[in-house]
Amino acid sequence: MSHPAENKPAAGLFESLAALLRDRTVRRWVFQLAVTLSLVSFIGLLVAIAAGNLARQGIATGYGFLTGEARFEISESVIAYSAANSYGRALLVGFLNTLKVSLVAIVLATVIGTAVGIARLSSNRLLAGVAGAYVEGLRNIPLLLQLSFWYGLLTVTLPVPRAALNPVEGVYLSNRGVVLPMLEPHAAFGYAGICLAFGAAIAVLLNRLAARRQERTGRRTVIAPAVLFVLFVPVLAAWYFGGAPAALDMPRLQGFNFVGGVRLSPEFAALLFGLTAYSATFIAETVRGGIEAVSAGQSEAGRSLGLRPGLVMRLIILPQAIRMIIPPITSQYLNMTKNSSLGVAIAYPDLVAVGNVTMNQTGQAIEVVSIFMIVYLTISLAISGFMNWYNHRMALVTR
């Protein structure tokens, strides 16, 4: 039989541990550590199982395949590409195509959605009715069906290049896409771009200085003339002294297709139209909800000052509504980026389409899917980070 004195150290240790676990901070850290270890163990188990299965099937693992020759063409790319390039460059082309259509769609959907959201609140019944029909009609049709509609409209209803529609000089519409004139490359445009970047930086600095002066004195310096000067005068000077290039590369029919100018493929146009039209409906509802959340007294105060309805909306209502609009509209931007992967259904060569071809040729399914996950996660985090920063900038500052 053990002596009671021998149990005192064990009892003391137990009481110390119990007291330690009663501390809320300690419990929180212990719980987080346990969850983390469980998650890491689970992921390690999955990796071990996958590695064993691949080894039994004789499939090599790793990302070494990215340096291999791709041996397939891509219909359109932002950077130079040929079948002799590597799989890594092919995936880069797909990533840039995804980024291109996503960014353009985000800009267009924001503009259209804001206009439609404001129109839904118009006192003009016809305008409000048309905006409401647009929102209720398109947002209830699955995006994949809309992409199929736009793609069929562009490839079936439009004529062949030899009979292309020519509504404006230099603009051609055919089942090969939309062809537009483009400025011929010139060094002066590069100089003008550098001047524009410097001008924008100076404009931001002037705005911050004016804001600080307003906080100190209550008066805001008029900086509009100076901003316009630094933005446009150096750019125009660089363009003029660089040779004032204005030559257009006009598209022309050669064989069975057009050469010259810039071409929007049916796949890109269909994906862009579908993403823009569909996402703009949700942005419109977000804008409408944000505007209606602003007190009606704000509009009455603006009208009592003699402001026109347009100025009341632009100067009073929207600056307050935007603080409520930014968080939900961020989710729409993320959805647009992820929904761009549906372009694979209409043969748009985005990251998923190029990755599927790579996966079929190499058999590196796990590696390719991991690249998908990393790329979309990175894009989503970048958009979220920027929008959170902008939301912080627009937040009301309390003193």
Q: What is the pLDDT of residue 397?
A: 53
Q: What is the pLDDT of residue 38?
A: 92
pLDDT digits (tens, 9 = 90+) for 149-173: 999 988 888 888 888 888 888 888 8
Q: What is the pLDDT of residue 223?
A: 83
Residue by residue, DSSP assigns 306-338 as T--HHHHIIIIIHHHHHHHHHHHHHHHHHHHHH
> Which whole number is the average pLDDT over 224-251?
87
State the chain's mean pLDDT as an integer: 86
pLDDT above 70: residue 265: yes
Highest mean pLDDT: which range of 90-94, 220-224, 295-299 = 90-94
Residues composing the chain: 399
CB atoms under 10 Å from CB of 52, counted, come to 10
Q: What is the pLDDT of residue 349?
A: 93
pLDDT above 80: residue 241: yes
What does the alpha-carbon distance between residue 61 and residue 234 come to, in Å, rounded to a whole number? Answer: 54
pLDDT above 80: residue 329: yes
Q: Which amino acid would we find at residue 372?
A: F
pLDDT digits (tens, 9 = 90+) for 52-86: 877 777 777 778 889 999 999 998 888 999 999 99
What does the alpha-carbon distance between residue 165 and residue 174 come to, in Å, rounded to a whole number? Answer: 7
pLDDT digits (tens, 9 = 90+) for 295-323: 878 777 887 877 777 778 777 888 888 88
What does the alpha-carbon distance between residue 5 and residue 21 come to, in Å, rounded to a whole number? Answer: 25
Q: What is the pLDDT of residue 257?
A: 82
Looking from the CA of 208 toward its CB, the CA atoms found within 13 Å total 7
For residue 12, name the pLDDT band (cuts at 50, 70, 90): low
> Which whole number is the average pLDDT over 383-388?
91
pLDDT above 90: residue 182: no
pLDDT above 60: residue 49: yes
For residue 6, name the pLDDT band (cuts at 50, 70, 90): low
Q: What is the pLDDT of residue 4?
A: 53
Burial 221-241 (b: 16+ CB within 10 A, else e): eeeeeebeebbeebbeebbee
pLDDT above 90: residue 268: yes
Q: Could you tell me the CA-to-CA distances from 229 to 201, 214, 234, 244, 374 in Å, in that order?
A: 13, 22, 8, 19, 43
> Which whole number is the average pLDDT over 20-24?
72
> Which whole number is the average pLDDT over 223-239?
88
Highest mean pLDDT: which range of 197-206, 247-256, 291-300, 389-398 = 197-206
Q: What is the pLDDT of residue 384?
A: 92
pLDDT above 90: residue 336: yes
pLDDT above 90: residue 224: no
